[in-house]
Each structure stands twice: as structure tokens, then as C-alpha cells.
Amino acid sequence: MKDMNPVFKVLADRTRRHLLDRLHTRNGQTLGELCEGMEMTRQAVTQHLALLEQANLIAVQRQGREKLHYFNPVPIHAIYERWIRKFEQPRLNALHDLKNRLERK
Amino acid sequence: MKDMNPVFKVLADRTRRHLLDRLHTRNGQTLGELCEGMEMTRQAVTQHLALLEQANLIAVQRQGREKLHYFNPVPIHAIYERWIRKFEQPRLNALHDLKNRLERK
DNA sequence: CAGATATGCAAGCTAATACTTGCATGTTAG
DNA sequence: CTAACATGCAAGTATTAGCTTGCATATCTG
């Protein structure tokens, strides 16, 4: 997937969105906790978390032998500002555009 | 990319976001117009547009031998409602969570 | 220290993705 | 009618994503 912006790519996976949901419900969970109930190996979850960390969507902190994960809302807000908000004013003048297009000919 | 929600997957590609941007700038463009300046073949663009159409992000209308493309903002708004908005209230109490966690032990 | 626990690292497999090439079909213009 | 134009269809290729398996390392507990 050709993409300079890692946030979209990361959000495109259901497992990763689920992990974000879990951290949103309770922040600071360990790797083991985040693996509970996941239908894949711990290593798979680790790899998803690594991508989330690369995209700056989570921050990680070692606490003894445990690894704590914290959700960071900033990139999602940036996505909203850059990509969502400008599309929220729907251009309902599609027919007007069509009319213009036909007249240009 | 394992995902039931096609909108995220579709938005994850830079080329497709660029196509949406172009339609947002001027709605109702033909396939040929949307191909201009793209550094790939027409068929590649067609495939991207097909994915955008599947995700209901664009609507297509045949006009003679031309194919007109219209942007549809509804799925992006749905994404915002379902996934973005709830993350916009940042939980800045990470330290509080950490404190709770340590006390649970 | 020794065993259990929590996590890390890396190679390998499979399926999906992005893109191309080649040809076919439908439409408009002279 | 026919030639140029706009688009459609399908098979093939290279890359990447998601996941697994196997083993290594670090930390806690008794």
C-alpha cells in the first residue's frame, strides 16, 4: 500500500482499530493484556502494536518486565483536520457540475 | 488487509485519496480527466476508482462514451462519527492510569 | 539460584495489493 | 462507414501485509 502517511494505513486494519479501542477503554495495558481474547499469536499482536507505535498512535513504556501501552489521540485529530473536515461540507451541486460540464462542450 | 469496513482500506492509499481530492476540487470529472498527471496507466486508475465506488465514496454515471465521477461525502462522515469523534476527547490521565495499575498489584 | 513469566528477534509462508500489458467493446465525428 | 476516442475486461507479475513458528533475553518469585 503506497502511502507516506502511516496513520491511514494503520487504521485500515481491523485488528489495530480494535487494539486502539481497547486502549481507549482502559489506557496503559500491557502486551499480555492486549493479547487476551485476540485470535492470533502474541507475536502478531506485537507487530500490530509496533505499527501503531510507528504511526505515533500509541506510546510505549517499559515497567520492569512489562510493556505498557498508552493511546495518543493527536494523529487521529490531525487526520480529521487534514482529510475529514474539508469533506464534511458536502457539495450537493453535482447536478450543477454536470450542467457546467455539458455546457463547456 | 483484514477489514470488513472498506472505507478505511480505500482511504489508506495515497492515490485514492488524491483522486478524492481532485473530485472534491471539481466534481463530475471523466476517467480521462482523472488520469491526467497520474504516474500510472489508465487501467490502474480505473481499478482505484472501482474500489472507491465499492466503498461508496464516489458515484459513477455514464454520459455517452464518457464516465463521470461524483464524490460522496457520506461514508467519510460515518467514519468520523464511528471512529474519530470518540478519540477526540483525549484521556490525558495516563499518569492516573499508571498509578491505578500499580495499586492494583 | 531456578523456574515461571513477560517480552524480543528473525526467518518463512500465504494471500492480498498495486500495477502492467494486451486486446475488446462501445461511441462520436468527419 | 470508418477512424479516432473513451472506456472495459482479464491475465500476469512484483511487492507487501499479516501471521506463524522457533528460539533468545530479561525480569520477577520463592
What is the pTM assigned to this prediction? Answer: 0.83
A-B C-beta contacts closer than 8 Å: 113
Over residues B22-26, the mean pLDDT reads 95
Q: Which residue ranges of chain A lie beneath pLDDT 50?
A: 91-96, 98-99, 101-105
For B48, residues 6+ apart whose C-beta sits below 8 A from its C-beta are B13, B15, B16, B19
- Judged by CB atoms closer than 8 Å, whether chains meet at B2 and A13 is answered as yes
Residues by Cβ under 7 A, strand C: A 1-2, 30-32, 35, 42-43, 46, 65-67; B 1, 9, 12-13, 15, 39-41, 43-44, 47-48, 51, 64-65
- Is the separation of the CB atoms in B7 and B17 below 8 Å? no
pLDDT value, residue A2: 59
B68 pLDDT higher than 90 = yes
B93 pLDDT higher than 60 = no
Query: What residues form DSSP beta bridges with B68?
Result: B30, B61
Per-residue pLDDT band at B89 (split at 50, 70, 90) = low
Residues belonging to chain B with any Cβ–Cβ distance to chain A shorter than 8 Å? 1-5, 8-9, 11-15, 17, 20, 24, 26-28, 61, 63, 68, 70-71, 73-74, 76-77, 79-80, 83-84, 86-91, 93-94, 97-98, 101
Compute CA A23 distance to the chain's CA centroid, rounded to the nearest angstrom. 12
B17 pLDDT higher than 90 = yes
Per-residue pLDDT band at B2 (split at 50, 70, 90) = low
